Structure 1
Amino acid sequence: MSDVAVMILAGGQGERLSILSRQRAKPAVPFAGKYRIIDFALSNCVNSGLYDVAVLTQYRPHSLNEHIGHGRPWDLDRERGGVVILQPYLGRSTSGWYRGTADAVYHNLFYITRRPYRDVLILAGDHVYAMDYRPMIAWHRERGAAVTIAVQPVPWNEASRFGVLVTDEDGWVIDFEEKPERPRSNLASMGIYLFRRDVLLDLFTREHPDAPEFIDFGRDVIPYLIRTDTVAAYRFEGYWQDVGTIQSYWEANMALLDDEPKLNLYDPNWRIHTRSEERPPAKILEGAQIVRSLVSHGCIIRQATVIRSVLSPGVIVEDGAIVRDSIVMTDSVIGRGAIVDRCIIDKHVRIGADAYLGWGDDNTPNWLEPTRLNTGITLVGRNAVIPPGIRIGRNVLIGPDVKESDFASPVVSSGETVNPVATVVWS
């Protein structure tokens, strides 16, 4: 696989994840307790024998850059090959901010010309999946396609969120629509493109009078190549999830709690690597009750109850507290007697004693973000401090750095928002 260059597109803002991605790039959002979303693409690369990896960042790259570092957790700290982080820069006529996925690759063409690569694998850095890329590469080369797109069927009611393809009987793509209002197919692009290098270089270095400006792969490049060259669809049968919404992110975490989850984090033959802090083992004290949950290292569960939840490193659950159907991120503290029900709690949150988050049965959508918070999940931003004894309903948005004094009432009704503006960069 030394003749394949990998470019991971990790500059997306991920607005549909609300405050989880407001001050961090979407690929840097924590997932499954100890991981970040980008860990899956990076681990898939090294598990597939691909060690020439460029990560293209743009939006809020600080935490992503810090997480990846020199690439040691993924065995990508190499003298030859390894991982490099490429950011937008100024200095020549073709430099500047990336305007789209294809434009990001265009700005970094030097990366794929430094060695005699045969193919270029372009990945989205914000999907959760375990995939060996080698069968796709072999299939692509056997067919001699200009570009091969990894695809998977999705539910019809979700197809409008994706680029969808129509193929003929032999698997060649004959039509492609990017996020259509009325999809004609439910065969979705996984955001994985395998280009012959000569095709990719030709697109960006030669004039194409009948072509649009190549800004996005889905909107511009793929439709053009369908008309002028050969585009193949490679069907992937394994687990793959776009965690681009609050609901899909919550569901993907909860799915890990199944007896036999579709994404097996415990497969010794397909490790998901990450940058981990040195923390002590999780401590479960006498009287604690934990049911079907992921509890990361450094957690302390006192005489409390944790049911169907995912706890990141360093979470503390005090005596009498109940955490149910929730995701609680690093170093957050659930106070004595507090209840957290169907919530996503970001890092370093302090929840006061006897507070109740996810209270009641009212499912009124959030007034500020009605399309993002409408399924009963309450979202709490990083560093927020929740007062003791407060009742907070469902679909509530609590912004980062909120203080006890920001709560004007002992009850926050479902669908309300408390100080959603973030002013600091998080990791």
Structure 2
Amino acid sequence: MRVLALIMAGGASLSLSALTAGRAAAATPFAGKYRIIDFTLSNCVNSGIYDVGVLSQHQPRSLHEHIGVGKPWDLDRLQGGVRVLHPFPTPDGGGWQRGTADAIRYHLDVIEERPVDYVMVLAGDHVYKMDYRPLLDLHMQRGADITLAVHSVPPHEAYRYGMVSVDGEGRVTKFEEKPRRTSSALASMGVYAFRKDYLVDLLYRDQAVDFGSEMLPRIVNEANVCAYTFNGYWADVGTVQAYYEANIALLAETPALDLYDPEWVVRTRSFERPAAQLGAEARIERSLLCDGCRVDGHVSGSVIGTGVVVGADAIIRDSVIMPDSVIEPGVVLDNCVVDKQVVIGRDCRIGEGSIGTPNAAQPQLLNTGLSVIGKAARISAGHTIGRNVVVTARSFVDQDLASGETF
């Protein structure tokens, strides 16, 4: 079976707030030591797919640095391997990819020249472990033009997804992109298998720019489109709240996402760091600590990334701290997401007060009490910051911030 995988990793993902101000969503750190795209890349190699293209666009530098030549995923190969595909100016004056279908169309030459029979188009900003081989087997058995992976979701979350209706034989009869109301409980996972010839012909004759909102709703009635139901763990972490919840869910006694499974290793670009170090007064409860972190304070219900420093008498509760951040002595953090390389000064208190004031700039995204501190921000000593607050990347905060503010 000859397969080319194309990973969509160019989206801006504004719903991740300050976390994607300087990076693609797919490059966002996750679970202390990984990047989100690691899950899709690992799924490919664990499924025996070693010909992979990563389509980039928004703030691609950290994504490029992370992937490199693909060695951590065994994708540094002369035949196949991984390549990062960039947007480029076109003869008609176009330059930016305007949607998922448009992004694939920009790289039709890559698809046409590859000696493959099938093309998988994969979202790069979802967290899941999936063997793609059963889906491809179904795709071949049915002689399908397209096969979509689908997953059940609660009705109140249907508005976030492309919702799929399926008949008794597993054929897709309807596709609705982010509907307000739907009778379907099956969401598209952003995992598509195409016959190569069909995909090439489709992109030449149909100039729509997006699969979900334009192409799929039309072609389900004219093509052989099948559904493959996936029952394993899958999380679309495209909002701050979903990202936070997926991280915190790893602290369950038996988490739905097993990162310790030797049969399905999630690979990543790793740095040589020493073991985690706990001081004499450190206290850790139900938390995840990564290599190179040094903890002298109290940590509960939190994910502490690689190289994080937690000072004496600091208290971190129900928070996600990304790599190489420094939490100085006496700091209290409650219900926060702290990006990489942040420094929070001595005796600051972040996450104070009532959750009742949503963020003024992003009320739909931040209204549960979660505060976000952007990459490389600096918060000077002794300040109090409320809930539902956003501190943008590389800011220097030298004042108190009330709940709902953006600095």
Question: Under a length normalisation based on structure 1, what TM-score does the superposition of the two structures give?
Answer: 0.93
What does 1:356-371 align with in structure 2 at a 5 Å threshold? 356-371=349-364
Instruction: Look up the match of 2:70.
Output: 71
Structure 1 residues 116 and 399, CA gap change in structure 2 (3 angstroms): closer
Counterpart selection for 1:223 from 189, 210, 217: 217
SS of 1:191's partner is strand
Instruction: Look up the match of 1:108.
Output: 107
Show structure 1 runs of 4+ deviating over 6 A. Answer: none
Cα deviation, 1:4-39, whole Å, max 9, x if unaligned, reads 111001100000000101221110111000000000
Instruction: Look up the match of 1:51.
Output: 50
The code of the aligned residue for 2:330 comes to: G
Counterpart selection for 2:248 from 232, 251, 254: 254
The answer to whether the 8 A contact 1:376-1:395 is kept is: yes
- Cα distance in 2 for partners of 1:332, 1:366 equals 24
Range with bigger deviation, 184-193 or 216-225: 216-225
- Cα distance in 1 for partners of 2:403, 2:387 equals 5
Structure 2 residue 230 is the aligned partner of structure 1 residue 236: yes
- Cα distance in 1 for partners of 2:191, 2:355 equals 40
SS of 2:26's partner is helix
The code of the aligned residue for 1:296 comes to: C
Instruction: Look up the match of 1:416.
Output: 405
SS of 1:412's partner is coil
Shift of 1:223: 2.2
Unaligned ranges ≥5, structure 1 = 419-427
Instruction: Look up the match of 2:257.
Output: 263
Instruction: Look up the match of 1:424.
Output: none
Instruction: Look up the match of 1:133.
Output: 132
Instruction: Look up the match of 1:199.
Output: 198
Range with bigger deviation, 24-33 or 219-228: 219-228
Instruction: Look up the match of 2:312.
Output: 319
SS of 2:10's partner is coil
The code of the aligned residue for 1:37 comes to: I
The answer to whether the 8 A contact 2:101-2:203 is kept is: no
The answer to whether the 8 A contact 2:281-2:312 is kept is: no
Cα deviation, 1:216-244, whole Å, max 9, x if unaligned, reads 11122212321211110100010000001
Number of residues of Structure 1 aligned to a counterpart in Structure 2: 407
Instruction: Look up the match of 1:354.
Output: 347
- Cα distance in 2 for partners of 1:134, 1:95 equals 36
The answer to whether the 8 A contact 1:213-1:220 is kept is: no
- Cα distance in 2 for partners of 1:350, 1:222 equals 46
The answer to whether the 8 A contact 1:363-1:415 is kept is: no
Please provide the CA RMSD for this pair: 1.3
Shift of 1:93: 4.3
Instruction: Look up the match of 2:271.
Output: 277
- Cα distance in 1 for partners of 2:209, 2:405 equals 38
Instruction: Look up the match of 1:292.
Output: 286
- Cα distance in 1 for partners of 2:401, 2:155 equals 36
- Cα distance in 2 for partners of 1:225, 1:360 equals 51
The code of the aligned residue for 2:62 comes to: S
Shift of 1:264: 0.4
Unaligned ranges ≥5, structure 2 = none
**What fraction of aligned residue pairs are identical, expressed as a percent?**
51
SS of 2:139's partner is helix
Range with bigger deviation, 348-357 or 36-45: 348-357
Instruction: Look up the match of 1:380.
Output: 373
The answer to whether the 8 A contact 1:95-1:107 is kept is: no
- Cα distance in 2 for partners of 1:396, 1:214 equals 38
The answer to whether the 8 A contact 1:129-1:239 is kept is: yes
Question: Under a length normalisation based on structure 2, what TM-score does the superposition of the two structures give?
Answer: 0.97
Range with bigger deviation, 376-385 or 6-15: 376-385
